Chains A and B, each alone.
Chain A
Amino acid sequence: MAITGVMRPGHVCIRVLEIEPAVRHYVDTIGLREVMRDTAADGSARVFLKAWDEADHHSVVLREADEAGMDYMGWKVDSEATLDKLSADVEASGLATDMVWMREGEHPMTGRRFRFTVPTGHVMELYAHRETPGCAVGYLNPDPWPDDMHGMGARRFDHCLLYGDDLAGTFKLFTEVLGFNLTEAVVAGPDEQMIGAFLSCATKAHDVAFIQQPVKNKLHHVSFLLDNWGEVLKAADIISKRRVSLDIGPTRHGITRGETVYFFDPSGNRNEVFAGGYTWYPDKPVIKWTAEELGTGIFYHDRKLNEKFLSVFT
């Protein structure tokens, strides 16, 4: 099946308390590359970054602000026609608020973006065009990785896990309007109320996940892809070597089956680097996790949830 409509996560804008330590973290530790800097309309400093295997101009935006957390997450759609259709669908759904078009060029090398707020309070964007300077190894007889890979050498920005209160509303918008599929659900109670939703717009185990919590618009983590378990272990070495604030791991997720390590950026935003996970196809049954086994779902080796996973977010 061809991937149509929303193709993939395209960008995330992360609020950081101080821009320079943040850039050093995302470049030197995670291994992203700084692409350019500008000043946002409100006067705050922005730095645009990309991972070595990404073709598009940028995928991560750091914005200096008074609060940590996530400004917004952007989704690349397959065409301008799809952008027109989906923006109209979002508007007609009645599920989104604060809808606004961001002008072409507001993000460098990027077309117009349709911005809206989903019921859990998170700001999402759809866009169809971004210039593609290309990845670090090129596209003609390429080597598998570049010589100037550094830090953890993250390949791409992969997904976000977000905390919010109206999971049902956000789930409805992502699945019924934007065409996402539920890959795994966490359910609680006798009536199996959904308290966690892992959503895919293409063939990954998840492109975004939402966990029901009595908060609005909170970021649990921003995740980057590595190649294999060995790279995850080496990432943990780098976390210790650079005195980065470790959260948990390296370990294995039951949910999505990824191999993972969690840590924090200098402003307290949680990061993940991970490898593995399965390929999702439209005929794959939804995996269900019960709330009692959520610990196993999140941390497969420990089989128990630590308090930090639920209570620490930005």
Chain B
Amino acid sequence: MHPAEQRFEVHILDTGERYACGGSQTLLAGMEALGRKGIPVGCRGGGCGVCKSRIVRGDYHAAKMSRACVSADEQAAGVVLACRVVPRSDIEIEALDRMRRCVTRHLTPAARPPVPPT
């Protein structure tokens, strides 16, 4: 099956949530489909940086993202804008910056995972 027609599992490490994301669906669109509060949806076009995250594990394809939001070094280290990324395998993702604050806002302090080293 072509990867665009497959479905992959995305694991949000910050919250422990898992969701299915189609191979032609962006990670952010898959997250939006969860329908819960706290998913920070910005421009959906790789320009505003609100959905900045890091892919910890998995294969993916990232469309062009604004350099104002993701530097070349960051991109090489797996930093992405979730609105520009489609999965090519199961994915583990860690939210950064505003995205992290938003997705963990509903968690009790004790349930929040420690802030990862930067």
Contact surface of A with B, Cβ cutoff 8 Å: 17-18, 66-69, 245, 247, 264-270, 308, 311-314
Contacts and interface: CB of A to CB of B under 8 A. Distances in A.
Given A268-B46, A268-B47, A314-B66, 13 more contacts: A17-B45, A17-B47, A66-B64, A68-B45, A68-B46, A69-B66, A264-B47, A265-B45, A266-B45, A269-B43, A269-B45, A308-B41, A314-B43
B59 to A, nearest CB: 22
B65 to A, nearest CB: 7
B18 interface: no
Given A66-B67, A69-B68, A314-B66, A308 B47 contact: no
Would you list the 9 A-B pairs with minimal beta carbon distance, nearest first? A268-B47, A268-B43, A68-B47, A268-B45, A245-B44, A66-B67, A67-B68, A312-B42, A264-B43
A268 B64 contact: no
Interface of B: 41-48, 50, 64-68, 98
16 contacts: A17-B47, A67-B68, A69-B47, A69-B66, A265-B45, A268-B42, A268-B44, A268-B45, A268-B48, A269-B43, A308-B42, A311-B42, A311-B98, A312-B48, A312-B50, A314-B47
Nearest to A269: B47
Contacts of B66: 17, 66-69, 267-268, 314
Contact of A314 (B41, B44, B48, B98): B48
B109 to A, nearest CB: 21
B45 A267 contact: yes
Contacts of A69: 47, 66, 68
A interface majority secondary structure: loop
Contacts of B42: 268, 308, 311-312
Contacts of B43: 68, 245, 247, 264, 268-270, 312, 314
B48 to A, nearest CB: 5
Nearest to A308: B42
Contacts of B45: 17, 68, 245, 264-269
Contacts of B65: 17
A2 to B, nearest CB: 40
Contact of B50 (A245, A265, A270, A311): A311
B38 to A, nearest CB: 11
Contact of A267 (B41, B46, B50, B98): B46
A313 B67 CA distance: 14
Contact of A17 (B41, B48, B64, B98): B64
A313 B43 CA distance: 8
Contacts of A66: 64, 66-67
A68 to B, nearest CB: 3
A17 B46 contact: yes
B68 A314 contact: yes
A69 B43 CA distance: 12
Contacts of A247: 43
A306 B93 CA distance: 26
Contacts of A314: 43, 47-48, 66, 68
Interface centre among B42, B45, B48 (most CB of A within 10 A): B45
A219 to B, nearest CB: 9
A64 to B, nearest CB: 10
Contacts of B48: 68, 268, 312-314
Nearest to B64: A17
Contacts of B46: 17, 68, 267-268
